[in-house]
Amino acid sequence: MPRVDATSLYGTVNLLILKTVSRAPTHGLGIARAIERGSDAMLQIEEGALYPALQRLERDGLLTSRWGISDQNRRAKFYELTKRGEDRLARELDGWVQSTRAICSVLEVGWTVTA
Amino acid sequence: MDRDRVGPRVDGELRRMLLSPGQLEEDVRQELQFHVEGRVAELMDKGWTEADARAEVLAGFGDLERIARECTEIGMERLQRERRTQRIADALADFRYALRTFRRNPLFTAVVLFTLALGIGATTAVFTVVDRVALRALPFQEPERLVVVWEQNVSQNVTSDNPSGSNLFDWRQRSRTFSGLAAWMEVSRTLTGVERPEVLSAAITTGNFMSLLGLTPVQGRLLAPADEPPEGTPTVAVLSHGAWQRLFGGESMLGRSILLDGSPVEVIGILPDGLPAPRPEVDVWVPGELATPDWNRQTRSLNVIGRLAEGVSIEQAQADMDRVAAQLAVEYPESNSGWGVTLVPAHDQVVGETAQILFVLLAAVIAVLLIACANVANLLFGRAATRVREFGVRTAIGASTPRLRRQLLTESLTLGMLGGLGGVALAYLGVGLFLRLEPRIPRVEEVGIDLRVLAFAAAVSIGTALLFGFVPALRAGRADVSQALKAGGGSRARPGRSGRARPLLVVSEIALSLVLLVGAGLFLRSFFTLRAVDPGFERDGVYAAKVSLDRATHPDNTARVAYFDELLRRLRSVPGVAYAAVTSTLPMDPTGTDFDLPRHAEGHPLVSEGGAPQTDYRIVTPGYVEAMGMELLRGRTFNDFDRLETPRVLLVTESLAESLWPGEDPLGKRITIYYIQDAEWEVVGVVGDTHHHGLAVPASHQMFVPLAQAELLFGYMTVVVKAGAGLTLSLDQVREAAVAVDPNEPLFELQSMADFVGQSIARDSLATISLAVFAALALALALAGIYGVTAYQVASRRHEIGVRMALGARRGTVVRQVLGQAMTLALGGVAIGLLGAGALTSVTRSLLFGVAPLDPVVFLGVPALLLAMAALAALPSARRAASIDPVRAMRIE
């Protein structure tokens, strides 16, 4: 099965990260795994894109981080959604759904997208 | 201890410390490392060897270093943002905390705010005046190119005489450095054809005058060169905005005709108010052909203003005019020999001397502000001592020193801004009060608080806050935590290093206030000396008013003499009037006519008219000397028998007689006055000198001729009436008498000679009063400073004093010691202040009258006064020290 590099989907990396983190505080590795798992390994996120993206999201106040202990009992940096992050996620999700729906309809691809 | 007391938002200090750049980089590395290890573990679970797994993962990563660097860079941006946000949040928290602190210390806050408001308010008020009057350019187009042109004659000691129209004509023809030369003359014109005829202040100008200044009309158009009437009366006029409102209620006047001195002129434009030149009071402007070659070159009566050509300096223009004046002196030796030209920048001409006084006042008020700052700093020191514990606690729970300093500075800035607000309110009141005093200074009509002044007040407030808050804030960082916490309550904190800073502040306060007091003392002495000058005429019970004679109804001297005879007859019958007379020229009248004529006195070598000395010339009616209360030293005054057909007679002043004929009897001597008929006049009396141009100006030589024999027609004359001894007279009846003679010739500008004298020294009195007020403020603040610092010293040394008293020290010794310390400070301040005051004599010298800049009365009296007041200010603390109960004082320890 061909794999898709998630970073090639413009703007989606942030969306994927925010969505993943919104479920529970997660470290970088956990985020990468969750995305792979969630897409049935269709989407793979490059580390070279993931970590700068996390820093950017934290810089913009959408994420906040703190050090904690991972499942394997190791020290890891966990990311968490801020209030602003939640708002942004809801907005971007909505926008993504809208535009995807529009594109699908133009391409005459039958698909149902809901947020 | 409640949460509030510890500081602003305690949780703010306990929250996660911001990362350092090094920590950030380490974090990023650890995070990436965690990722790598996790992936390696995943692969090893699938059966990879560790080495293969690691190689695979690292290959997937690409350039690990580059990723780490990129992450660190983005992280740094975050840190900067967080730091900024934190700082703003801290500042807001500090601000709220400051307000809370102030509410909890209302007395302290009130004293500080009042002190600041006083200092900032006074400074802002003075700046408002200085800015408008002295700093801002005149409200004309390119005002820096405007110069006022005077004639001058070095040999006759005339520095600035009015130019004559014929000289102006030649200057216009021959000068190469001006883009234009214009002239004006101030006159009065009677407005008739209205319900209540009124004498207007008028200006005759050359047609180019308004465009040369670059004025813009409110309505209609300005006067233009084509409006200059070829002969006689003008046909158009421009009204000032104020006169238009006052006289015609602002109704449309353009194109309408008004009657000036009985002749109709058409109103063509309205000028804005508040023009500082020639005089803000001018009601109406009419064009006149002032620059003509047929003008008598000796009649120097114009005001001339020039606009320098583009790029020409005033020095170049001066050189150019020197050349022209030299030509004219050769061509017209009769009138122009010895006469040159002086150029004065228009701004200097308008505000010159006043600006000097204003800058002195500004310096004085800034000194007051500095003293206020020192006082506030002193109060802050005192309070910092009681807050040692608060800061100790905050340091203990993690507040950094810069953080504490920022908080203290925020408190200072908040105090400064609040004080500044109060200051602006005080300045607003102060400026209003100042304008209410109707100070006779140029451009005062422009004075008002505006954005520029507000910006100044804000800058002063912030500067002040930094000044008084800086040292206490620096000191806060040095608080010793364990000491502070151990010390228990804050009431008896150790003086520490602030023990040295506070006395220094007091010394500088005293030094500054001594300088101000000496300045005020000198000005006061000067002012009283000035006021005590005998003007040579009486001030009280003597009233003067102007009357303007319509040239149409009183065309010649006979008609005018008849009019005045009738007017004086009626005035003398007003109850209370002892004398009534008319003069061409009233002493100390800022708006009067004043001129001199060349003359030749008997017994002196005859010189040509142009080289003849000039003497002030006045035309008066019989009774003038008596009405003014002048002294008749020899001979007689004029009487009704001095008529046109009788021999010409003349009065001279004492100093003129003495200089013309020293040691001789002046009575019967003859003087030839070069005017229309070059006639000879016989001296029949000698009168006392009068100070004509102001009390500070030495009496000038004057000669008086009777109106009945004079050849001149004046635009207006001044009526003088004197009340009989012990009688009061009704000014309304005086006015009515004039209206009864001719309803179209009302009296105007009626006021007492005391008013005229007062106005002539108004600027001196303004400077003196202001300086005295500032010095009093400075003194009060400095005394408060002494009181504060001695009270603090006594409070912080209670224990020591108690011990000494327990060991047998007498109360008197304790009092002496406290007083002694205060006096040491005062003496130090006085010594420094005397040096400062001595160094400033060069500034005050030119502003003082009849007082030496190092006047011993002031330079000895003021320090003595200040020392005595300082002792008084320290006395309450000394007595408190003496009343300390040794037992209780030691028990507290």
B5 vs B538, higher pLDDT = B538
B715 vs B351, higher pLDDT = B351
Instruction: Give the integer Cα–Cα distance in Å for B333 and B327.
Output: 10
DSSP bridge pairs for A80 = A64
Q: Is residue B410 part of a domain?
A: yes
Q: Judging by DSSP bridges, how do beta strands B178-192 and B303-308 pair with one another?
A: antiparallel
Q: Give the alpha-carbon dihedral of B568, B572, B574, B577, to 10 degrees.
A: 120
Q: B257: part of which helix (H) or strand (E)?
A: strand B257-260
Q: Is residue B871 part of a domain?
A: yes
The pLDDT value recorded for residue B830 is 93
The pLDDT value recorded for residue A10 is 52
Which residue is it, tokens 């926008």?
A95
Contact B50, B68 (CB under 8 A): no
Residue B66: its chain A contacts at CB < 8 A? 48
Q: Say yes or no to pLDDT of B634 above 90.
A: yes
The pLDDT value recorded for residue B18 is 61
**B19–A contact, CB cutoff 8 A:** no
Both B251 and B295 in one domain: the answer is yes
**A90–B contact, CB cutoff 8 A:** no
Both B734 and B786 in one domain: the answer is no
B739 vs B385, higher pLDDT = B739
DSSP bridge pairs for B618 = B704
Burial class (CB in 10 A: 0-12, 13-18, 19+), B88: exposed
List the single range of B43-47, B113-117, B403-407, B408-412 with lowest mean pLDDT: B403-407
Q: Which of B186-190, B275-279, B329-333 has the highest mean pLDDT?
A: B329-333
Both B690 and B807 in one domain: the answer is no
Q: Which residue of B has its CA nearest to A49?
A: B67
The domain tally of chain B equals 4
Q: Which domain holds residue B246?
A: 156-337
Residue B39: its chain A contacts at CB < 8 A? 29
- Mean residue pLDDT of chain B comes to 84
Structure token digits, residue B838: 């001595």
Instruction: Give the integer Cα–Cα distance in Å for B584 and B841.
Output: 41
Q: Is residue B304 part of a domain?
A: yes
Q: What is the pLDDT of residues B399-411, one digit of tens each?
A: 777 778 888 888 8
Smallest CA–CA distance, residue B103 to chain A, in Å, is 36
Q: Say yes or no to pLDDT of B214 above 60.
A: yes
Residues B466-481: what's their mean pLDDT?
Answer: 69
List the single range of B225-229, B346-350, B548-552, B611-615 with lowest mean pLDDT: B548-552
List the single range of B9-23, B162-176, B355-369 with lowest mean pLDDT: B9-23
Contact B549, B867 (CB under 8 A): no
Instruction: Give the integer Cα–Cα distance in Å for B639 and B623.
Output: 7
Q: ipTM score of the complex?
A: 0.87
Instruction: Give the integer Cα–Cα distance in Å for B820 and B807.
Output: 21
Confidence of residue B298 (pLDDT cuts 50, 70, 90): confident
Smallest CA–CA distance, residue B66 to chain A, in Å, is 8
Smallest CA–CA distance, residue A110 to chain B, in Å, is 36
**A46–B contact, CB cutoff 8 A:** yes
Both B44 and B168 in one domain: the answer is no
Both B731 and B800 in one domain: the answer is no
Residue B63: its chain A contacts at CB < 8 A? 48
Q: What is the pLDDT of residues B327-343, one digit of tens each?
A: 888 888 877 888 889 99
Dihedral (CA of B570, B574, B579, B581) sign: negative
DSSP line for B687-709:
E-----S-TTSPPPPEEEEEGGG
Q: Do B75 and A51 touch (CB under 8 A)?
A: no
Q: Which residue in the set A47, A55, A74 is minimally distant from B61, CB to CB?
A: A47
Confidence of residue B357 (pLDDT cuts 50, 70, 90): confident
- Give me the numbers of helices (H) and strands (E) for chain B, helices first please: 28, 22
Residue A75: its chain B contacts at CB < 8 A? 30, 34
Q: Say yes or no to pLDDT of B629 above 80.
A: yes
Question: Which of residues B713, B743, B773 is at a domain's end?
Answer: B743
**B30–A contact, CB cutoff 8 A:** yes
Q: Do B35 and A47 touch (CB under 8 A)?
A: yes
**B61–A contact, CB cutoff 8 A:** yes
Q: Say yes or no to pLDDT of B488 above 60.
A: no
Q: Say yes or no to pLDDT of B489 above 70.
A: no
Q: Do B78 and A76 touch (CB under 8 A)?
A: no
Residues B66-78: what's their mean pLDDT?
Answer: 90
The pLDDT value recorded for residue B277 is 58
Q: Is residue B867 part of a domain?
A: yes
**A77–B contact, CB cutoff 8 A:** yes
Both B382 and B260 in one domain: the answer is no
Q: At what angle do helices B346-386 and B762-796 cross, to 10 degrees?
A: 10
Both B676 and B606 in one domain: the answer is yes
List the single range of B223-237, B292-306, B437-451, B797-811 with lowest mean pLDDT: B437-451
Q: What is the pLDDT of residues B236-262, one digit of tens each?
A: 999 988 888 888 888 888 888 898 877
**B81–A contact, CB cutoff 8 A:** yes
Q: How many CB pairs under 8 A join A and B?
A: 63
B460 vs B9, higher pLDDT = B460
Residue A52: its chain B contacts at CB < 8 A? 67, 70-71, 74
Both B657 and B710 in one domain: the answer is yes
Instruction: Give the integer Cα–Cα distance in Å for B735 and A111.
Output: 105
Residue B62: its chain A contacts at CB < 8 A? 46-48
Q: What is the pLDDT of residues B500-548, one digit of tens each?
A: 777 888 898 899 999 999 999 999 999 999 888 999 999 888 999 988 7
Both B598 and B705 in one domain: the answer is yes
> In chain B, what percentage of residues exceed pLDDT 90?
23
- Choose from A37, A59, A65, A72 for mutation: most chain B CBs within 10 A: A59
Q: Which of B271-280, B493-502, B651-660, B802-811 has the highest mean pLDDT?
A: B651-660
Which residue is it, tokens 């798992």?
A37
Residues B174-187: what's their mean pLDDT?
Answer: 88
Peptide bond into B278 cis (omega under 30): yes
Confidence of residue B714 (pLDDT cuts 50, 70, 90): low
Q: B673: part of which helix (H) or strand (E)?
A: strand B670-673
Q: Do A48 and B75 touch (CB under 8 A)?
A: no
Residues B593-599: what's their mean pLDDT?
Answer: 75
Q: Say yes or no to pLDDT of B431 above 80.
A: yes
If one counts every other C-beta atom within 10 angstroms of the C-beta of residue B69, the result is: 14
B432 vs B653, higher pLDDT = B653
The pLDDT value recorded for residue B12 is 40
Q: Do B78 and A58 touch (CB under 8 A)?
A: yes
The pLDDT value recorded for residue B4 is 40
**A73–B contact, CB cutoff 8 A:** no
B153 vs B580, higher pLDDT = B580
Confidence of residue B734 (pLDDT cuts 50, 70, 90): confident
Smallest CA–CA distance, residue B402 to chain A, in Å, is 25
Q: Which residue in the set A46, A52, A75 is minimally distant from B71, CB to CB?
A: A52
Q: Residue ranges per domain, chain A?
A: 4-82
Alpha helices in B138-295 (DSSP H): 165-174, 209-213, 241-248
Nearest to B549 by CA among B452, B456, B460, B619: B619
Q: What is the pLDDT of residues B546-574, one digit of tens each?
A: 887 766 677 777 788 888 899 999 999 99
Q: Say yes or no to pLDDT of B318 above 50.
A: yes
Both B511 and B399 in one domain: the answer is yes
Contact B35, A45 (CB under 8 A): no
Report the top-level CATH class of A4-82.
mainly alpha
Sheet holding A63-69: strands in order across?
A: A26-27, A75-81, A63-69
DSSP bridge pairs for B796 = none
The pLDDT value recorded for residue B5 is 42
List the single range of B23-37, B416-430, B794-808 with lowest mean pLDDT: B794-808
Q: Say yes or no to pLDDT of B715 above 70.
A: no
Q: At what angle do helices B106-130 and B762-796 cross, to 10 degrees?
A: 160
Q: Say yes or no to pLDDT of B476 above 80.
A: no
- Choose from B30, B35, B39, B81 for mutation: most chain A CBs within 10 A: B35
Residue A37: its chain B contacts at CB < 8 A? none
**A29–B contact, CB cutoff 8 A:** yes
The pLDDT value recorded for residue B14 is 38
Instruction: Give the integer Cα–Cα distance in Å for B765 and B694.
Output: 13
Which residue positions in chain A have pLDDT lower than 70?
Answer: 1-11, 111-115
> In chain B, what percentage of residues exceed pLDDT 70?
91
Both B407 and B260 in one domain: the answer is no
Contact B836, B884 (CB under 8 A): no
Both B256 and B332 in one domain: the answer is yes
Instruction: Give the integer Cα–Cα distance in Å for B397 and B385.
Output: 20
List the single range of B23-27, B347-351, B518-522 with lowest mean pLDDT: B347-351
The pLDDT value recorded for residue A11 is 67
Nearest to B628 by CA among B718, B762, B729: B718
Q: Say yes or no to pLDDT of B485 above 80.
A: no
B729 vs B4, higher pLDDT = B729
Q: Which of B201-205, B495-499, B710-714 has the highest mean pLDDT?
A: B201-205
Q: Which residues contact B43 (CB under 8 A, 6 or more apart)?
A: B52, B53, B56, B57
The pLDDT value recorded for residue B524 is 92
**B58–A contact, CB cutoff 8 A:** no
Which residue is it, tokens 């690990």?
B64
Smallest CA–CA distance, residue B31 to chain A, in Å, is 6
Whole-model pTM above 0.80? no
Q: Which of B375-384, B430-439, B767-776 has the highest mean pLDDT?
A: B767-776
